[in-house]
Structure 1
Amino acid sequence: MGIDESKDFIPVRIAVLTVSDSRGPEDDRSGDTLAERLTGAGHILAARDLLPDDRDRIAARLRDWIADPGVDVILTTGGTGLTGRDVTVEAHRDVYEKEIEAFGTVFTLVSMQKIGTSAVQSRACGGVAGGTYLFALPGSPGACRDAWDEILRWQLDYRHRPCNFVEIMPRLEEHKRRK
C-alpha cells in the first residue's frame, strides 16, 4: 500500500460546491479548505460555487458540472446532516448512476477517530454519474480535512496502490460504448 513513485502523477480537475444558507464566499472556510488541499496536492480547481440548501438547485449544479468535460470530480461541503434544511445527500442521490457505499462507511470510521460517536450524525456519501465522481462532505473544515487527508487524497492519486479512482476513470462509462 502507498504511493508507487515509478508512476507519473495525473492531475484531476475538481469542482467544489459549498452548500450553506448562512455562509458567503468571504467566510467559506470549508470550501477554502478543500480548494487549498486539492491544489496543494497538484490537482486543478476546475470550478467553485456556493449555493443555499435547495435540493433542486444543488442537483442542477451537479448536473451542469457532470456534463462539463472539464470536471472529473465534484466535492460538495455542507448539507449532509439531519436537520430539515440538510438536502445535499438527497440532491446527490438524485443524480447518481451508482453510489459508492463504502465511501460513507470509511468516512465514518475516520470521523469516529476524531469525534467519537458524533460521527453517526454525518451522511457523507459518494457516487458516480456521467463518468464523474461526486462526494458529499460535511460542512465543517475539520470534516473536509479528514475526508481529503484520509481518503480522497489517496483515492484521487493515480500512483496510489493497490488501487485508486483515477485509474478506472476511463472505464466509468464503458457500458455506454457500442459493442
Structure 2
Amino acid sequence: MSESSAQHKAIAKARGPVRIAIVTASDTRTPQTDTNYHYLKPEIEALGHQIVGYRIVKDEPDQVAQALEEMVEAGAQIILFNGGTGIAPRDTTYDVLARRIEKPMPGFGELFRMLSYAEVGAAAMLSRAMAGTYRQKVVFSMPGSPNAVRVAWEKLIKPELEHLAWEVAR
C-alpha cells in the first residue's frame, strides 16, 4: 500500500462508524430467508459500523428507485444492493441504478467479474455488478447469490469501506 493510501485509510478510520444500508432485490426472499442480509449484518456490526436501513424489494424499477432514495434519506454513506444484476428480463436493478449513478466506479464490476471468473468460469460475464456514487453516497450493486455477496464484501468492499465513505464526502 502506498503511503498516501495508508494516510487516507487512517484518516477515514478515525472518522468513526460508517453508516450502511442493505437492499435486497428479490421476488422470493423474506426477512427470515434473506441469507445475504443475515451474512452482512454481523460482518458490518463486527467492524463497529452501523446499519441505518434495510429493505427487500421486488426487482421492479419503481421499487428499486424508491429504495435507493429511502436509503439516501436515511443517511447511509454506503448502500449495498444485492440481486437483479443478471440479464434475465426480470433483472432491472442494474438498469435503474446505472441511470442514477453520477460517477461510475467501473473497477468494482471489472474486479468482481475477474474474481467470479476464478470461481464460476465464463458464467461470470453474465453479471452486471457495478458501483458508483449518487448524491455523495457510494452505491454497490452485486448479484444476489450468497457466494457473490461474500466475494464482493470480503475481497472488494470491506477492505476499502472507510476509505470509500471518506473519499465520497470530502
Under a length normalisation based on structure 1, what TM-score does the superposition of the two structures give?
0.84
Structure 1 gaps of 5+ residues are: 158-163, 172-179
Letter in 2 for 1:97: E
Aligned residues: 164
1:6-155 to structure 2, matched below 5 A, reads: 7=10, 8-9=13-14, 10-68=16-74, 70-155=75-160
- Asked whether the 8 Å contact 1:101–1:125 carries over to 2, the reply is yes
Secondary structure of 1:24's counterpart equals: coil
Coordinate RMSD, CA, aligned: 2.0
Provide the TM-score with structure 2 as the length reference. Answer: 0.88
CA deviation after TM superposition for structure 1 residue 4, in Å: 5.3
Please give the secondary structure, in 1, of the residue aligned with 2:45: helix
Please state how far the C-alpha of 1:138 moved relative to its aligned partner. 0.5
Relative to total residues, which structure has the larger helix share, 1 or 2? Answer: 2
Contact 1:31 1:77 in 2 (8 A): no
Show structure 1 runs of 4+ deviating over 6 A: none
Structure 1 residue aligned with 2:165? 166
What are the superposed Cα offsets for residues 24-82 of structure 1, whole Å, 9 maximum, x if unpaired? 111011222222222222221111110111011101210222233x2101001111111
Aligned sequence identity (%): 32
**Partner-residue secondary structure (3-state), 2:32:** helix
Q: Structure 1 residues 41, 110: closer, same or farther in 2, change over 3 A? A: farther
Cα drift, residue 135 of structure 1: 0.3
- Secondary structure, counterpart of 1:25 in structure 2: coil
CA distance in 2, matches of 1:33, 1:59: 24
